[in-house]
């Protein structure tokens, strides 16, 4: 039986990209970030995403340099998520994906 190859183990630029942004919640988070959302509660309220799912996706985006986590309040600690240059470079991809959905 052939060994199953994981997406993140493939040596391919597309596989690497999908490993970071290929989950649909992640794409929706990025869409909201391009619309100006920066705070956890904004993302959660707009998408109806669970706390654990949102936390997981934001951590992955921060770890991969797509978003930067910045503290905006000390007590209690509150953070916002800001698109990095790398994150901004994904904008054309998101726009094309959204446009593709409207093609008849």
Q: What is the mean pLDDT of each run of 10 residues along the chain (104 residues)?
A: 64 67 82 95 94 95 95 93 96 87 79
Query: What pLDDT is recorded for position 1?
Result: 59
29, 32, 20, 76: which is closest to 55 by C-alpha? 29
Query: What pLDDT is recorded for position 88?
Result: 96
Query: What pLDDT is recorded for position 71?
Result: 95
* Start-end of H helices in 11-74: 13-21, 24-34, 40-47, 51-63
In whole angstroms, what is the distance from residue 94 CA to residue 39 CA?
Answer: 20
Q: In which residue are the tokens 């800001």 written?
A: 82
């Amino acid at each position: 039986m052939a060994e199953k190859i994981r997406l993140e183990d493939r040596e391919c630029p597309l596989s690497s990209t999908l490993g970071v942004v290929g989950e649909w919640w992640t794409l929706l988070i990025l869409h909201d970030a391009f619309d100006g959302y920066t705070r956890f509660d904004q993302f959660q309220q707009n998408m109806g995403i669970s706390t654990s799912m949102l936390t997981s996706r934001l951590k992955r985006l921060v770890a991969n340099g797509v978003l930067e986590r910045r503290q905006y309040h000390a007590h209690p600690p509150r953070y916002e998520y800001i698109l990095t240059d790398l994150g901004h470079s994904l904008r054309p991809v998101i726009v094309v994906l959204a446009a593709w959905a409207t093609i008849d």
